[in-house]
């Protein structure tokens, strides 16, 4: 059963009087509970596609369907509510708010829901335990390593228990050990919680954690055969 369906999707931007079309007539489906990886170079359209799935951007044409809803045709107010309920976003550069503690950064999305302070506390505590950062809850981003900041960002993405987690180059700014730890954490959420996870990356090692790998370059999809050997 398809959880995500893109049909004939085109997205263009204008930059310095030039029209750039990173995605043109794209078709792809992602099953519910799949760990779907988009592998490709910078400028190949990976982040554009991710932003369409997350409801951050809209297609110029075509259908972007997630969980049975055509999100490209939603009104802005409806889309904001839908995004809060359905999508957790993990960014490469973390996007943590410097003046907020780890606890407060993770708690932030929950203010969009009608929850009591006690309910928010319970959810934040569970999310921080899940990423092994319960002992850093009162630390500010500047007091955390890059790997720890990314784990806070992951906790923030999962705290509302969304069915879809999207990750944009989540290991791009991390050292080798922190990158491995981050990928093991994302893989665990996928397997243990049955989340649908869509990740974009240019790193082969990170891509190898996926259950399905598709190479995206200039809007073209090439499926990776996971049974075939890859370079180490």
pLDDT of res. 230: 47
Strands 35-39 and 212-217: parallel
Q: Is 25 within a domain? A: yes
Q: Is 133 within a domain? A: yes
pLDDT of res. 43: 75
pLDDT of res. 221: 77
Specify the number of domains making up the chain. Answer: 1
pLDDT of res. 202: 86
pTM of structure: 0.89
Residue appearing with tokens 């893109």: 6
pLDDT of res. 24: 87
pLDDT of res. 225: 55
Distance CA 119, CA 111 (A): 11
Task: Check which CATH number belongs to the domain holding 153 and give it.
Answer: 3.40.50.300
Q: Is 81 within a domain? A: yes
pLDDT of res. 15: 76
Instruction: Supply the range of the domain harboring residue 136.
Output: 2-224
pLDDT of res. 71: 94
pLDDT of res. 183: 95
Q: Is 230 within a domain? A: no
Q: Taking the CA atoms of 112, 116, 117 and 123 in sequence, report the sign of the dihedral they define.
A: negative
Q: Is 157 within a domain? A: yes
The residue ranges of the chain whose pLDDT is under 50 are 227-232
pLDDT of res. 229: 45
Q: Is 201 within a domain? A: yes
pLDDT of res. 231: 42
Q: Is 178 within a domain? A: yes
Q: Is 232 within a domain? A: no
**Number of C-alpha atoms within 13 angstroms, CB side, residue 88?**
28
């Amino acid at each position: 059963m398809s959880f995500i369906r893109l049909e004939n999707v085109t997205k263009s931007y204008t930059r310095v009087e030039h029209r750039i079309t990173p995605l043109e007539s794209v078709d792809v489906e992602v099953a519910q509970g799949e760990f779907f990886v988009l592998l490709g170079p910078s400028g190949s359209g990976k982040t554009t596609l991710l932003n369409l799935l997350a409801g951050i951007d809209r297609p110029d044409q075509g259908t972007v369907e997630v969980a049975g809803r055509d999100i490209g045709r939603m009104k802005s107010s409806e889309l904001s509510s839908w995004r809060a309920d359905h999508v957790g976003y993990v960014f490469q550069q973390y996007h943590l708010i410097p003046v907020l503690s780890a606890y407060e950064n993770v708690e932030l999305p929950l203010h969009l829901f009608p929850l009591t302070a006690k309910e928010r506390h319970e959810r934040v505590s569970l999310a921080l335990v899940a990423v092994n950062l319960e002992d850093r809850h009162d630390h500010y981003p500047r007091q955390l390593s890059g790997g720890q900041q990314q784990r806070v960002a992951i906790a923030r993405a999962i705290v509302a228990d969304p069915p879809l987690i999207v990750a944009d180059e989540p290991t791009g700014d991390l050292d080798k050990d922190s990158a491995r730890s981050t990928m093991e954490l994302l893989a665990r959420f996928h397997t243990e919680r049955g989340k649908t996870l869509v990740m974009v990356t240019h790193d082969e090692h990170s891509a190898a954690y996926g259950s399905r790998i598709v190479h995206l370059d200039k809007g073209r999809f090439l499926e990776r055969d996971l049974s075939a050997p890859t370079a180490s």
